[in-house]
Amino acid sequence: MDLTYTEEEEAFRAGLRGWLAEALPKLPPKPSPDDWPGRRAYDTAWQRTLYDAGYGEVHWDASPTRRLIFLEETEKAGAPYVGANFVGLLHAGPTIASEGTPEQRARWLPPMLRGDEVWCQGFSEPDAGSDLASLRTRAWRDGDDYVVSGSKIWTSHAEVADWCELLVRTTPVSAQVPKHRGITWLALPMDAPGITVRPLRTLAGSAEFAEVFLDEVRVPVANRVGAENDGWRVTMVTLSFERGTAFVGEVVACRRLLGELARAARANGRWDDPVLRRGLGRLGAEFAALWRLTQWNVSEAQRTGGVPGVGGSVFKLRYSHARQELYDAAARVLGPGALDLDEPWTRERLSSLSYTIAAGTSQIQRNIVAERILGLPKGR
């Protein structure tokens, strides 16, 4: 395993840095966090700018190492995050690139890269909890269509999405069909008749999630990614990208925020607290280790064909807790100001509480680490 960058990769980094230095000052002001139509317009315009500059394909056509450099440099430069394009670029896109047919890749990938179409994620269900395989949304064949009925919850960006990566049950659970089988991965057009979207407001005040109700919605069989009843395997590809690379830019952001926090502590006198200093130092070491783990995961993905492995679960487990600890430290630095909901640090602290639940809870990640890395027996 080699964690150093080649001359070609360093040249890519230098070119990207130069382009960002020219492009970022031309950006308009960011819209309000609650203005999702405005955020969609802002995020897709930035994606189009990247596409026109030749960086649109970096999320799945480039090597994992170039993708890592891209995420590292854009975050360091303060470039816009993927935002409304999160599911398309970091989940659905890599999955379709890996598992889709040539026709599916030609239909869905270019509009994602150009910022023309936004995707949402229809995985979670009200009664499934952390057990994704317990989903109940049903789909049955009727000619060249699937007919889908059920409901989803915590559907990211559903309010402004054109497409949804949707998991449905195509074969009921039985003694012969365990719950991890009988699942199918579909691309659902969000303007299809029978779809109702109800936005959900989070603790941090954002409405990035929604409930989605599906009442006999017709989805062409041609929109199925992978084989019928093979959706669990396809979903593992999606989740491997989510846990393996989707949070890479956020680690860079956390290291930058840690520096800002230290400067704020020096300015308001809290730096004199030795307990606080030790805590910030330990977090600095933690994020440095997470970055090296990210490099290892990316190196392994490049060696094994591009799909991140179960090392992503180790990263997700530790990163989500470290992020919460970072914002707990911020609250100690800010003091009473940490209760002000108009402070970005406060909103981010509230948002950080979701990280040990989103993208698979910490309990789920521990099970994966125990079974697939440590080789421990499965629990009942």
Which positions are annotated as active-site residues? 242
The answer to whether the CB of 79 falls within 8 A of the CB of 71 is no
Count CB-CB contacts under 10 A for residue 11.
11
Q: Which helix (H) or strand (E) holds 312?
A: helix 311-334
Contacts of 367 (CB under 8 A, 6+ apart): 379
Residue that has been written with the tokens 């060249």 in this structure: 144
What type of residue sits at position 271?
Answer: W
Closest alpha carbon to 91 in 231, 241, 232, 226: 241
The answer to whether the CB of 33 falls within 8 A of the CB of 347 is yes
User: CA dist 291 to 14, 313, 331, Å?
Assistant: 20, 14, 24
How far is the C-alpha of 53 from the C-alpha of 60, rounded, in Å? 16
